[in-house]
Amino acid sequence: MKKELLILAVVVAFSLLTYWLVEPYAHSVMHPHVQNRGFQYDGTADIEEMQNKISALNESKAAEEAKEMRDPKAIANIEADLVAAKTRLETKISFWKDIKRIAALPIDINLTAGEAAYQNCLGCHMEGAAAMGGVIPPRLESAGAIYDRNYLIGLIKDPAMVSNVDHKFSIVRHHEMESVKYMVSTDEDIVNVIAYLQSIAPKAEEITPKVAFEDSCGRCHSVKYKAWTVIGEKPRFKLKKDDFAFELKKYEYEEGLTQYMGKLPPDLSMYIRSRGPEYISAFMEDPQQLLAGTSMPRVGINADTAEKVVEYLVEAGDPKHEERDRIGMYVMIYMIFFVIAAYLWKRQIWKDLH
Ligand code: HEC
Ligand code: HEC
């Protein structure tokens, strides 16, 4: 008996050791802790990112080597990179300062003027719009409820800058939405059009996880477990011919999307499982921070919408999650009863033998 107890103690001790020491460590390596910043868009993250880049350039091995070797060409290259990075930093600082200024303006809202300005948006964001550059401009019916206000101001001012993909564009290559700044150009128009968007949007509690996902991510990402494709939900076709026609249309759109983004954005059915909700959340808010150089733009949704997107992805990647939790409880209760019953039974049977 003593020996058995000793073995049990050793097994328990090792199990606890694994559980408390090794498991969290393995978890921290495979899923490093990441956290969103609360979906407040004020430029802090982008400015920090540029400052870090500048210090990395200053301290890089290439820079040290160039100085040591007194190689004028290498030094000039590094100087040029530094000047470019510093210019980007200055541009970002003044861009976000301007957003803050507009956000705080005491403007009397004029919804009629907002509606008039909104007509400019509909020029591209209309029902059944064709792909532009490689994406279909998303529906704007929900925009007033799902996007952050600061982000929307920034989007009209400079879409590449606010979504932190300015490095992909240049004097010759413009963001597809950039021309909006010539159409909706005064501070009053910007504030009014956003107020108008908010006035036509459903209330936040009426936005479902499905709408949150489709309107903010659906033009780039498919979720095949939900039958969602980048051109919309795939219907069940009776005729094979219609199925092929849909697939062809999707394929052609994906080709354009791949060209626009440099690669085809992945299907998100299983991402919630491989990366976890914290990662997905932080990634949406600031893709560059977790995947430097990525072509995925920041999406600019508010915290409430981000939660709903995660909910949608959990449902897609792990549809049995809730059921499992519920059944798990029943199984535990059953086991406890079973152990008690087995013990009583054993006592009953052995009673006469002792
Ligand atoms: C010249 C065409 C054009 C005009 C005009 C235009 N947009 Fe866009 N908009 C686009 C395209 C294209 C995209 C998708 C860009 C992408 O995903 O890279 C887009 C994306 C968006 C998004 C999603 C942004 C995100 O981060 O996911 C919002 C919101 C939006 N536009 C609002 C507006 C509003 C409001 C107006 C009017 C003030 C407007 N747009 C005017 C073309 C346009
Ligand atoms: C304008 C297109 C576009 C939109 C909109 C978009 N994405 Fe992406 N997304 C991409 C591209 C492109 C990649 C591939 C990035 C890479 O590998 O560099 C990507 C990659 C990802 C990844 C994989 C990250 C990884 O670690 O590999 C996740 C997760 C993701 N997107 C989530 C989202 C969510 C959630 C939304 C909506 C809130 C969204 N995306 C909206 C284009 C987009």
Query: Minimal CA–CA distance to 193: which of 115, 123, 139?
Result: 115
Close Cβ partners of 340 (under 8 Å, ≥ 6 residues apart): none
Residues with CB under 6 A from ligand 1: 120-121, 123-125, 132-133, 135, 137-138, 140, 143, 147, 155-156, 163, 176-177, 179-180, 184, 193, 197, 216, 297, 299-300
CA distance 327 to 180: 53
pLDDT per residue of the chain (354 residues) written in tens, 0 to 9: 789 999 999 999 999 998 888 888 887 777 777 888 899 999 999 999 999 999 999 888 888 888 888 888 888 888 999 999 999 999 999 999 999 999 999 999 999 999 999 999 999 999 888 899 999 999 999 999 999 999 999 999 999 999 999 988 888 889 999 999 999 999 999 999 999 999 999 999 999 999 999 999 999 999 999 999 999 999 999 999 999 999 999 999 999 999 999 999 999 999 998 888 999 999 999 999 999 889 999 999 999 999 999 999 999 988 787 788 889 999 999 999 999 999 999 998 888 876
Count of alpha carbons within 13 angstroms of residue 270, beta-carbon side? 1
Whole-number pLDDT of residue 15: 92
CA distance 85 to 127: 40
Q: Which ligand is nearest to the CA of 126?
A: 1
Cβ proximity of 142 and 215 under 8 Å: yes
Q: For residue 234, how far is its CA from the centre of ligand 1 (angstroms)?
A: 24
Cα angle: 82, vertex 83, 86; to 5 degrees: 85
Ligand 1, atom 16, lies closest to the CA of 135
- Nearest ligand 2 atom to the CA of 294 is 18
Ligand 1, atom 29, lies closest to the CA of 143
Query: Minimal CA–CA distance to 196: which of 142, 138, 115, 119?
Result: 115
Residues with CB under 6 A from ligand 2: 135, 216-217, 219-221, 261, 263, 265-266, 268, 271, 280, 283-284, 291, 294-297, 299, 301, 309
Close Cβ partners of 51 (under 8 Å, ≥ 6 residues apart): 89
Which amino acid does the sequence have at 29? V
- Nearest ligand 2 atom to the CA of 262 is 12
CA distance 199 to 99: 21
CA distance 282 to 290: 8
CA distance 321 to 316: 10
Residue with tokens 């079973």: 338
- Does the CA dihedral 128-130-133-134 come out positive or negative? positive
Q: For residue 299, how far is its CA from the centre of ligand 2 (angstroms)?
A: 9
Query: Minimal CA–CA distance to 94: which of 166, 177, 29, 10?
Result: 166
Q: For residue 221, how far is its CA from the centre of ligand 2 (angstroms)?
A: 7
Ligand 1, atom 6, lies closest to the CA of 121
Cβ proximity of 295 and 259 under 8 Å: no
Whole-number pLDDT of residue 322: 79
Cβ proximity of 148 and 234 under 8 Å: no
Cβ proximity of 45 and 92 under 8 Å: no
Neighbours of 324 (CB within 10 A): 10
Residue with tokens 């002792």: 354
CA distance 116 to 112: 6
Cβ proximity of 139 and 125 under 8 Å: yes
Neighbours of 246 (CB within 10 A): 16
Q: For residue 42, how far is its CA from the centre of ligand 2 (angstroms)?
A: 21
Q: Please list, residue by residue across 254-277, b when 16 or more beta carbons sit within 10 angstroms of its beta carbon and e when fewer do.
A: bebbeebbeeebebbbbbbeebeb
Whole-number pLDDT of residue 148: 97
Whole-number pLDDT of residue 354: 63
Q: Which ligand is nearest to the CA of 311?
A: 2
Whole-number pLDDT of residue 157: 97
Ligand 1, atom 19, lies closest to the CA of 137
